[in-house]
Amino acid sequence: MEKKITLPLTRELARTLKAGDSVLLTGTIYTSRDAGHKRMCEALARGEKLPFDPTDATIYYVGPTPAKPGQVIGSTIYYMGPSPAREGRPIGSAGPTTSGRMDAYAPTLMRAGARGMIGKGARLPEVVKAMKECDGVYFGAIGGAGALLARCIKRAELIAYEDLGAEALRKLYVEDMPLVVIIDCEGNNLYESGRAAYLRKRNGK
């Protein structure tokens, strides 16, 4: 059964989510990739404020391409390449990018207040450690389903780092975005537990 959750991802809400939970997420999220993360972490190191309030924020690892005239966002970069936004849509295909590229920066942003991360793929132990310290949650988005995920995005706004192009910082409003909790705030990891359960079943144990 899917859990409907509404952002912001408070500490209390994060603690109710467990690895393996299917969720439908509604609320404001932010998009950024490695170049944007690097810039945010450099700003924090200088004692500067971020372009958005990171408290209880959720960051989606996806990179939109520049918008065509009259469009909010043209498309997003996924392994198969960008696709243009259809007329009347705020965004094109919106599939996740590999989360490991943000692993060097994720602990810093969590300690600054961010709590949720959306992407695909495994995370380093340092990220999981920070999640346990900060009650962070890592959600998995379906790879290869960028067009489906884009339907959940109702509004999109560029808020900082426009010079980074595809890696600029954007604010999205999403409704009922289908995700799975991959790693919960206790460090339980669906990639590990799921694999172990499969091997037990295969081996008849």
Residue 155, CA distances (Å) to 6, 30, 91 in order = 16, 11, 8
Q: How far apart are CA 106 and CA 1, in angstroms?
A: 29
Band the pLDDT of 165: cuts 50, 70, 90. confident
Contact residues for 78 (Cβ-Cβ < 8 A; gap 6+)? 62, 93, 94, 95, 96, 97, 146
| C-alpha gyration radius of the chain | 17
pLDDT value of residue 137: 97
Band the pLDDT of 132: cuts 50, 70, 90. very high
CB 178 within 8 A of CB 59: no
pLDDT at 205 over 60: yes
The CATH class of the 3-202 domain is: alpha beta
Amino acid at position 21, single letter: D
Could you give the percent of the chain with pLDDT greater than 90? 57
Q: Where are the beta strands (DSSP E) in 1-152?
A: 3-6, 22-31, 58-60, 63-65, 75-77, 116-119, 137-140
Centre a 10 Å sphere on the Cβ of residue 173 and count the other Cβ atoms it contains.
16
CA dihedral sign, ordered 38, 160, 132, 139: negative
What are the respective helix, strand and coil percentages of the chain, to the nearest 5? Answer: 30, 30, 45
Q: How far apart are CA 17 and CA 190, in angstroms?
A: 12
> H-helix or E-strand containing 177?
strand 169-183
Residues 76-120: tens digit of each pLDDT = 322 222 345 556 565 555 667 788 999 999 999 999 999 999 999
This prediction's pTM = 0.84
Contact residues for 27 (Cβ-Cβ < 8 A; gap 6+)? 6, 7, 8, 58, 173, 174
CA dihedral sign, ordered 167, 171, 175, 181: positive
The rounded mean pLDDT for the chain is 83
